[in-house]
A = this chain, B = another copy of it.
Amino acid sequence: MYVQRNRSLSIRSRRDPPANRHRFSISTFRGMQQPELSRKMGKMIKSENSAIGAYEAAGRERSSIAAQLSDWGESTDDDTVSDISDKLGVMLAEMGELEDVFAQNLEDYRGVLKQIRNMESSVQPSREQRQKVTDEISKLKYKDPTSARLETLEHELVRAEAQNLVAEAQLSNITRQKLKEAFDIHLAAVVERSEKQTIIARHARRLLTFIDDSPVVPGDARPAYDHETEARQVLEDAENDLRGWAPSVEPIPTSAGQESRVNGVEHDSDGLTTGLGSATGAGVSQPMTNGGPSAKKQLEEPQSQSQTEAEPIAY
């Protein structure tokens, strides 16, 4: 059940063992650092990795403690303590399992955050390209205002602006849609873990009432333990309640289903870069003489065709 994932994200662990001939472990920082635009989300995704690791560790420890508790209880040679500690152990193990399920759900949420980061990373070059062409034009206008290259550059700027316009729209759409989707998953997972652990803990407390803790005087025998059937019933009740659990959170309405071409790119949640792909539209890659802002007219889609019913996020 406990799949070991490699949680080490530090470049330190990738270093080769030190040899006599010293080599720097990395040759350049260029290209290794995330683009400015996606750096904050990248850092958050990394922190989330640590949080998930902590929940996995908590789940593992809880399951291990559950077995230890049962084992300890057996060694006490006290029928009451032995039976109750074994059944408490069963319920603690289930709680540990729920911590692990929670960690897996957080991993799904983290995958959706990666889609935001990937989109941010892919928009960065488009912003830079537009800025580069703009700078080149103003430089050339100052140095050689009659240059024939100016017209070529103006065409290039129109293309760059159009591409960036699409990229910024995609970024806005993906950011809002995926932020919503990510926290839909995260918060539903919190509710699921909480409600199920409440069920288990409340039933487990019933087990405690079967421990007769009235003090014995030295040499006296304790009355025989006679709650075994009731204790087994507690486990069954808890199991039934867990089986009967169903998510009760309201689905989060989304209008993201209305999109089609602008954000039609499939996102690879593991790669850092995602191309803008065909979403820029065939018309944009040809030179246009009209200004940037009106370029959007060519990109607009027939809304009546792509409009679909708002679908709640399935969870």
Contacts and interface: CB of A to CB of B under 8 A. Distances in A.
A76 interface: yes
Contact of A173 (B85, B216, B262): B216
How many copies the complex holds: the figure is 2
A220 interface: yes
B47 A51 contact: no
A140 interface: no
A32 B253 CA distance: 61
Interface in A204-261: 204-205, 208-209, 211-220, 222, 249-250, 252-256, 258-259
Interface in A13-40: 40
Contact of A208 (B44, B58, B180, B191): B180
Contacts of A213: 173, 176-177, 180, 254-256
Contacts of A197: 190-191, 193-194
A154 interface: no
A255 B54 contact: no
A198 B256 CA distance: 27
A131 interface: no
The binding surface of chain A is classed by DSSP as helix
Contacts of A218: 162, 165-166, 168-169, 262, 295-296, 299
30 contacts: A44-B68, A44-B72, A47-B65, A48-B61, A76-B175, A165-B218, A166-B218, A168-B218, A169-B215, A172-B222, A176-B212, A176-B213, A180-B213, A183-B204, A184-B208, A187-B208, A190-B201, A191-B201, A193-B194, A193-B197, A201-B249, A202-B249, A208-B252, A213-B254, A213-B256, A215-B256, A215-B259, A216-B262, A217-B262, A219-B296
